[in-house]
Structure 1
Amino acid sequence: MNNTIQYRGYIGSVEFSEEDGLFYGKVMGIRSLISYEGENAKALIDDFHGAVDDYLAMCEAEGRTPEVAYKGSFNIRISPELHKRLVIYTTAHNISLNRYIEDTLEKSPAAQAQ
């Protein structure tokens, strides 16, 4: 089962509340809260599409640029010792730390999924 849905470049989560008997979710990767719900899969998808469309229309009406999810920049925290070893390695191999991390992550199983 896939726990995400996509529309117009936005990715939404898919959750189920047994207590309420509803599917629900929110758009991931942006600060604005865009949520949706439905009693079945079709209703959830329809509400997700409507919520994204409403968000984009609101941004246009207010003259502001809609948030873009997953811009390609994020911060990670690692130990100072690992940071030092990585910098030494990448410097010795004449590559940037950023390029090394990107290449390493690109080979990970998570990056191969889809």
Structure 2
Amino acid sequence: MNLMNVDGYHAKIEYDEETDQFRGKILGLSGGADFYGSNPDELRRQFRKSLHVFLEVCKEQGIDPRKHFSGKFNLRIPPELHEKLAMTAEAQGKSLNTLAQEALQRSVTT
């Protein structure tokens, strides 16, 4: 995955064939903000500019710029996998929740 980081914010970068430029989408915001550039330096400059505009609008409107997460989500998996995970957790002396957190933490890219 192509990610760019600026001031603690992350953006996913993809090539936009239609515009023949790279498009960045800032992740984890309470609204949408994107930017375009032809090279890494331009992308970074436009990222900062787009983020600044977004943060200013949020400030003016009294909106928190970042999404909030509860720390809870439902995950649907096949019963067979659930059984294997539960047995693995028990064999390792861990809760299923701890086993899942560890596995998820290893897959995080940001």
Distance 1:85 1:19, change over 3 A: closer
Where in structure 2 are there 5+ consecutive unaligned residues?
none
Distance 1:79 1:52, change over 3 A: same
Q: Which residue of 2 aligns with 1:100?
A: 99
Contact kept? 2:30, 2:65, Cα under 8 Å: no
**Deviation of residue 15 (structure 1)?**
1.9
**Deviation of residue 50 (structure 1)?**
1.1
Supply the AA of the counterpart residue of 1:79: P
Distance 1:40 1:71, change over 3 A: farther
TM-score, scaled relative to structure 2: 0.71
**Deviation of residue 105 (structure 1)?**
4.2
Distance 1:65 1:18, change over 3 A: closer
Where in structure 1 are there 5+ consecutive unaligned residues?
none
SS at match of 1:6: strand
Distance 1:41 1:85, change over 3 A: closer
TM-score, scaled relative to structure 1: 0.70
Q: Which residue of 1 aligns with 2:86?
A: 87
Count of aligned pairs:
110
Q: Which residue of 2 aligns with 1:63?
A: 62
Q: Distance in 2 between matches of 1:92 and 1:23?
A: 47
Q: Distance in 1 between matches of 2:49 and 2:68?
A: 18
Supply the AA of the counterpart residue of 2:80: E
Contact kept? 1:14, 1:24, Cα under 8 Å: yes
